[in-house]
A and B are shown apart, each in its own frame.
Chain A
Amino acid sequence: MLIYILRRLALSVSVVFAAIVATFAIFFLGPSDPAGAFCGQGQNCTPERVAIIKKSLGLDEPKTTQFVHYIEGVVVGRDIGDSDSSVKHCPAPCLGWSYRSNRPVTDMVLERFPVTLSLVVGGVAVYVTLALLFGVLAARFRGRLIDRVIVGVSQFVPAIPYYIAALMFYLYFMVFYAIIPRSSYTSITESPWAWFTGLLGVWLFWGAFASTGYIRYVRASMIDTQGQDYVRTARSKGISEKRVMYRHALRAAIAPFITLVGISIAFELTGSIFTERIFNIQGMGLLALDSFNTGDLPVIAGVVVITATFVTIGNLIVDMLYGVVDPRVKLS
């Protein structure tokens, strides 16, 4: 067990490292012009000033040296800027320096992290509940009208682009008719109630929409496990149907579902760009989008690295959980 965890951990670290290398290669070895972006478009931006900025950011050094500095920054932190001009300290894990905001990228991303996390956790709670509820319901009444309605809806809804549905929901239900409180983000420490009501509409909409993509998985694996021998054995022992459903069949059916959810949580941490843009929630996705518009590449790169890390950690946790939930899986 311990060896398995260690080996799995080593693999995850290697993937994260590869992601950092790839991100660095794409963003910093690419033909981008960070010094120009930092300098701005106005009259003050003379070639001399660009050269000074380049020097202070270390962009005049060879690419390999830059890469070593970058990795060094991630591990132990680093100082940016040469000795005679103002030195900026970027503590570990340093993912670079934002040219636009003139502050460490890590701070900027971490500042937005609770926002996106609130969004994703609430949304996932809604969709997991709905997917399990309707999936089990459909499987239980297989072939009946209720099953066909659920399956029909779960086929039809994901075929509509999410952002179109979300935009119309926002415009008509939150703005035009104002049935649901307009989405906004307040820190949970500041006011839990404002935090809850501000995000409620987004959670419900996103959760309901996303659940339709998972209902069919839950239904299919419920139907699958119901035909298994151990479920038949459980029934033959005279255990109540409810207990058979929830303790025996659902527990096995839930394992592949957990994999899906775990991966989706990690991906939603940045995949929430559309949600954040439409509902105007200032999370990590919107940070990346704003950085795109200002040409602030280190920030986008930072978000990419952090996301890749989350995806990898997510996969790791999912693999561990798998053994806990499904007794048939032995970690080795």
Chain B
Amino acid sequence: MSVGTTAPTPAEGQLEAPSDADPDIQLAEGGGSKSPLKIAMTRLMRDPVAMISLGMALFFVLVAVFADQLSGLEGQNTTDLNLDLIGDNTYPIFTANTEHWFGISSGLGQDLFARWVHGSRPSLIIAVASAAGVTIIGVLLGLLSGFLGGWVDRIISWIIDFLLSLPFLLFAIAIVPIAVNRYAGTQVGDYVDEEKVATIRFLCLIFVFVLFGWCTLARLIRGEVLSLREREFVQAARALGVPTRVVLFKEMLPNMLGPIIVSLSLAIPGYVSAEAGLSFLGVGLRSPSISWGLTVATAQNSFQAHPIYLWLPVLGIALLVLSLSLLGDAIADAFNPQTRR
């Protein structure tokens, strides 16, 4: 299933043709009826806030992708200790120099630039993975629930209502120790592999985000299906004997790209923020993982003597989430027919 990247395919028997074929044909005809996706894209391109946010978000994505190269350029890595550069009071004896561009951390003296560029990675990877999982499960269950109706719908709807009444944050807190207990074995005397625990924590975060994230999307999709189900082109397809699977994915799904893209773009900044937030609380990622949230938690204690240590990850999280959120808002605006000028 490809969501969000491909242009909607033409739907059989579609009367109003809101979503449409090959963009090249559209261009050749010189306008006329445009697909909602294209209209939204055009509006987005003209929105300065969206473009600035996009630029900023892309900057962070590039930093995350080329983190190794960037720290290689500086000639440092994330783990080397520089205890000789730490003064008696556990603070570094300098702020920044040509060897350590952003200085070093208090206590252990690890290079801050290398850790900063690597710190953007977990947030982005977890956010993208969670968003992908949420989209697949949410769309699938939403489609099933709305289209099949009956007891399938009742069960899925009840699960959605139930999950939404549970406190997300507390479950996120609880699931990590249970999983670590189960898969890494913390019985007395057991050897606990740090790398393995780090991986479990990483996967747990994705799991929790997906578990609590799919319900809102599924509910949205269900509503869309209920309204689309009665439309002529779907009725026509069903009358022609098109299999349910094909009706769902070829006829209905392309018409829901707008809401799916909007919910995705609004969810991603939430996951970035949640990952860093949970790591900050000490219930998300932990050392040896490198995460901005984790750095904020440790740097908090030396913010007076060594402010750059705290400010770097703080600015990283704030700017990344800010740019992604504003971009999400802009995308939601662009897809909203009510704000169309």
**Interface stretch (choices A200-208, A302-310, A319-327):** A302-310
Query: What is the count of residue pairs linking A and B with beta-carbon distances less than 8 angstroms?
Result: 119
In the complex formed, the residue of B with least CB distance to A176 is: B304
Q: A159-B325, A161-B321, A274-B277 are in contact. Are A171 and B165 (CB under 8 A)?
A: no
**Interface residue? A19 (CB, 8 A):** yes
**Interface stretch (choices B74-82, B103-111, B168-176, B256-264):** B168-176
| Bound-state Cα–Cα, A159 to B325, Å | 5
**Interface residue? A153 (CB, 8 A):** no
Q: Contacting A18 at CB < 8 Å: which of B162, B310, B318?
A: B162
The majority secondary structure among interface residues of chain A is helix
* B174–A26 touching, CB < 8 Å: yes
29 contacts between A and B (CB under 8 A): A19-B165, A22-B162, A27-B178, A30-B181, A32-B181, A33-B186, A155-B326, A155-B329, A158-B325, A160-B322, A161-B273, A161-B317, A161-B321, A164-B314, A164-B318, A167-B296, A167-B314, A171-B303, A270-B169, A273-B281, A274-B277, A292-B174, A292-B176, A295-B177, A297-B174, A297-B177, A300-B170, A304-B167, A315-B165
Shortest CB-to-CB span from B7 to chain A, Å, is 30
Residues of B within 8 A of A301 (CB): 174
Q: Contacting B171 at CB < 8 Å: which of A164, A175, A304?
A: A304
Q: Contacting B165 at CB < 8 Å: which of A31, A176, A285, A308?
A: A308
Interface digits, A242-255 against B, CB 8 Å rule (1 contact, 0 not)? 00000000000000
Residues of B within 8 A of A274 (CB): 277, 281
Shortest CB-to-CB span from B176 to chain A, Å, is 8
* B182–A304 touching, CB < 8 Å: no
**Interface residue? B187 (CB, 8 A):** yes
| Bound-state Cα–Cα, A26 to B187, Å | 20
Known: A27-B174, A164-B314. 16 other contacts (CB 8 A): A15-B161, A22-B166, A26-B178, A27-B178, A31-B178, A45-B188, A158-B325, A159-B321, A163-B280, A171-B310, A273-B169, A274-B281, A289-B281, A289-B282, A292-B174, A292-B177
* A41–B188 touching, CB < 8 Å: yes
The majority secondary structure among interface residues of chain B is helix
* B277–A304 touching, CB < 8 Å: no
Name the interface size band of chain B: 35 or more
**Interface residue? A118 (CB, 8 A):** no
CB interface residues, B 269-296, toward A, < 8 Å? 269, 273, 276-277, 280-283, 296
| Bound-state Cα–Cα, A175 to B302, Å | 12
* B167–A270 touching, CB < 8 Å: yes
| Bound-state Cα–Cα, A27 to B181, Å | 12
Shortest CB-to-CB span from B6 to chain A, Å, is 29
Q: A41-B188, A161-B277, A304-B174 are in contact. Are A289 and B283 (CB under 8 A)?
A: yes
